[in-house]
Structure 1
Amino acid sequence: MRTADRDGPLADCPESALVPPGDGPRCPVDITLAALGGRWTPLVIREFLRRGQATYSELSAALPTLSDKVLSERLTQLTSAGVISRHRTPGWPPRVRYVLTGQGRALESVVRSMWEWGAAWRDDLS
């Protein structure tokens, strides 16, 4: 490992940051993984990055193999993480729109890097 990596942005987290006492993750990598955790989460975020906002139905149509249960769980997770916000419009029927937050938009470079890494290795997996 290069010295710059040991002291720079990828420096090791203190041991106390890796195993928090229940307050949630403190290591930057762990914080990111908590926001992106769970199967389908990066793909749900990708849809928000493409659209900026979406309804449940739009997301369900864009990710047809994703079950309703898992989509609901991911939307709750992403809302709790501050990646998206939930906006309910009064009326009948009530309408709910999910909007990507500034914190969510900041994940674009992460998702783009995941895309590029996956695209580079996709052919090797075949």
Structure 2
Amino acid sequence: MLKVSPCKGVIRFGKQGKLNPRYIGPFKILERIGLVAYKLEFPKELSNVHNTFHVSNLKKCLSDESLIIPMKELWLDDKLNFVEEPVEIMDREVNQLKQSRVPIVKVRWNSKRGPEFTWEREDQIRVKYPHLFS
């Protein structure tokens, strides 16, 4: 199994996507390179990804078939980051701080696990995803 990184594309007030898939695969090991690296056999969906990895990015595959995540359901970039895009703006609020007011929006993300909602700063979402504010 190969480790992938969750990546939302915006700063989420220090939150991490705890339930995002951590590993994908399993992949067949083609050869051992040196003491701590392995070359893997990838499907054609991952043809743009380098196929040699350090052992810290690998995990022994369990034989339980229910743990395998199909590659067709994931959207990975060429650096193996799990990418989620915002789908729509659900709600708006204004956080009142001592000296200022911060507009925030509730964003629905396209997540593999189903609908996922987070509160994000409106200015950051507006810069990265202007199509949501049409």
User: Shorter-normalised TM-score: what interval?
Assistant: under 0.3
Per residue, is there more helix in 1 or in 2?
1
Per residue, is there more strand in 1 or in 2?
2
The normalised TM-score by structure 2 is 0.20
Q: Which has the higher contact order (CA 8 A, sep 6+)?
A: 2
The normalised TM-score by structure 1 is 0.21
* Structure with greater Cα Rg: 2
